[in-house]
A and B are shown apart, each in its own frame.
Chain A
Amino acid sequence: MTHAAPTKLPEPAILVRDLTKRFGAEVAVDGISFTVRAGAVTGLLGGNGAGKTTTISMLLGLLLPTSGIVRVLGHDMVTDRHGALPRMNFSSPYVDLPGRLTVRENLTVYAHLYGVDGVAARIKVLAEDLDITGLLKKPYNKLSAGQKTRVALAKALINQPALLLLDEPTASLDPDTGDWIRSYLKSYQDRTGATIFLASHNMAEVERLCDDVLVMRAGRIHDHGTPRALIDRYGRRTLEEVFLDIARGHDRRTTHAVRDEGTPPPPSAPPADPATGTGTEAGE
């Protein structure tokens, strides 16, 4: 959690304040606030319709908020998104690359869009890193789901982003490929110190990768903390069990906390996480 500090803290990678998005009468995101520090890996959890994709779309500047503030890498994503876009990137299984273009052609196009220097060399390095050298001449639409995910990740890393936003990075992958992607993301973050913000339904993935977790429900940040802190707070063994409790409206947080600790955390201001000291600060 972020606390008052005696010296000025560096600009957070993501700063969201009172962010709301309405589609007509429907409230998709309801006044959420959170901060992600630079270099953290943060997971965004929530059931279908919880508001994850809407939140990510606003972080990308693809969707305009109804109200509130969203700043990414120091830039307001409503008025100045092009200040941040060259230093961030995004991958989602729900957004494709042109299928008739080969992998190399796709990466070349995006390298130019991001103003990458030394395009051929950058593609070579990424292809070796992500084990897609043998795929470079293949059309994107001829690849398997696992291969497409690796290529999409290569596109997302083409500009060596300071902030990587990932929407379900291992959705519909077999366990082996999913594990490979998770290992790669972990090593990439260790090497570069990039900030990673990922939405996922895979709780094991979140437990393994994330320093901090935001749990959304009905458009609000329902809870947050490190994976370990959330598991402890709900008296569960896994994050998946915590997720199910929250998704089904069984808020064991209070009863468990009362029973074991006697200090239930207020829902609107979840307790600070002593495990990491910093990371993601959130509230509704």
Chain B
Amino acid sequence: MTPGVSARRVGAIILRHVYLMRSSPVRVIEMAYWPTVQMIMWGFISQFFLTHSDWLVQAAGALVSAVLLWDVVFRGNLGLSLSFLEEMWSRNLGHLFVSPLRPYEHVIALTLMSLLRTLIGITPAALLAIVFYEVNIFDMGLPLLAFFSNLLVMGWVVGLGVSAMVLRFGLGAESLAWVFVFAFAPLSGIYYPISTLPDWLQPVAWALPAAHVFEGMRGVLFDGVFHMGHFAAAVGLNVVYFSGTVALFLWVFHLARQRGQLLNMGE
């Protein structure tokens, strides 16, 4: 049989998660709840700093924009890993993988679900930022699309890595879906330039796509310049990390077939 991606099978998995969201409006509200609360809190902090910081006066929306963009990483990660965890919670993995669904089709479906969940989560907060603080993140224009895409892919890398750990070690590792991504926050330069970090730590930070994105964001907001170098570095790193994480997930899937974990995984 010729390997290939079946749009119908990928669509079936997306349909399964759309049905799930439709059955529980609370889940949809929850997706938008935290980004909105974060945005409101950082909006007030920004207003306070505007009267106490010359640096922030140069770009009033920098903190709120940073909050919204960091949430792309968090939501991208959570959107993917939660979609995977749903199959384990419902003890459905065995049925899925005795169907013609291929593991890489499952990965594609998980990334598309992550995109959907991220948009549902971030869009209301971004719109409310305009209403509450007159911070319009969409004013960044095309660079925003570049930042969003790179941060989303970084979220997928983390989410797929977490999913691989859960597949390997079971649901005992599920809390990683919520906490693991924050290990990268201090190094990503979300609210401060990478130059703030100790010299020895800066090379580590530059190995993260998010560090290039947030440095690029400040370039656009403070100087009105889109730094192609940071963009290219973020894309390059994401290609390497995403390829590596897909390979890791498929390898762990292979191990699960060796160990017989697919039929009996679940709560």
Residues of chain A touching chain B, judged by Cβ–Cβ distance below 8 Å, are 21, 23, 53-54, 57, 60-64, 75, 80, 82-83, 85-86, 88-90, 92, 94-102, 105, 108-110, 112-115, 139, 155
Contacts and interface: CB of A to CB of B under 8 A. Distances in A.
Contacts of A105: 16, 19
A154 to B, nearest CB: 13
Given A95-B91, A101-B23, A63 B16 contact: no
Nearest to B99: A113
A100 B23 contact: yes
Contacts of A86: 100
A97 B100 contact: no
A57 B99 contact: no
Interface string B10-21: 011101100110
B102 interface: yes
A2 to B, nearest CB: 27
8 contacts: A63-B262, A90-B95, A95-B91, A96-B92, A105-B16, A112-B8, A113-B9, A115-B100
Contact of B90 (A62, A82, A96): A96
B35 to A, nearest CB: 24
Contact of A62 (B3, B8, B86, B257): B257
Nearest to A95: B94
Given A61-B98, A62-B94, A98 B260 contact: no
Interface residues of B, number: 37
B127 interface: no
Interface in B2-61: 3, 6, 8-9, 11-13, 15-16, 19-20, 23-24
Given A23-B259, A96-B91, A155-B95, 17 more contacts: A54-B260, A62-B257, A63-B258, A63-B260, A64-B257, A82-B100, A89-B98, A94-B264, A95-B95, A97-B90, A97-B95, A98-B16, A101-B16, A101-B23, A110-B99, A112-B12, A113-B99
B257 to A, nearest CB: 5
A113 B16 CA distance: 11
Contacts of A80: 1
Contact of B15 (A75, A108, A115): A108
Nearest to A84: B1
B266 A96 contact: yes
Interface in B201-259: 254, 257-259
Contacts of A83: 1
B101 A100 contact: no
Contacts of A99: 90
A80 B15 CA distance: 27
B112 to A, nearest CB: 15
A61 B11 CA distance: 23
Interface in B90-125: 90-92, 94-102
B92 A97 contact: yes
Nearest to B19: A105
Find the residue from B13, B94, B97, B102 having the highest chain A CB count within 10 A: B94
Contact of A113 (B19, B87, B100): B100
Contact of A85 (B23, B86, B99, B262): B99
Nearest to A111: B12
B263 interface: yes
Nearest to B256: A62
B100 A85 contact: yes
B19 A101 contact: yes
Contact of B12 (A54, A94, A100, A109): A109
Find the residue from A75, A95, A99 having the highest chain B CB count within 10 A: A95
A33 B199 CA distance: 65
A92 B262 CA distance: 13
B92 A98 contact: yes
A155 B53 CA distance: 62
Contacts of B99: 85, 110, 113-114
Contacts of B23: 100-102, 139
A115 B101 CA distance: 10
Contacts of B262: 57, 62-63
B1 A57 contact: no
Contacts of A61: 98, 257
A81 to B, nearest CB: 9
Contacts of A115: 6, 8-9, 100
The 10 closest A-B pairs by CB, nearest first: A112-B12, A95-B94, A96-B91, A83-B1, A113-B99, A63-B260, A98-B90, A105-B19, A109-B16, A113-B12
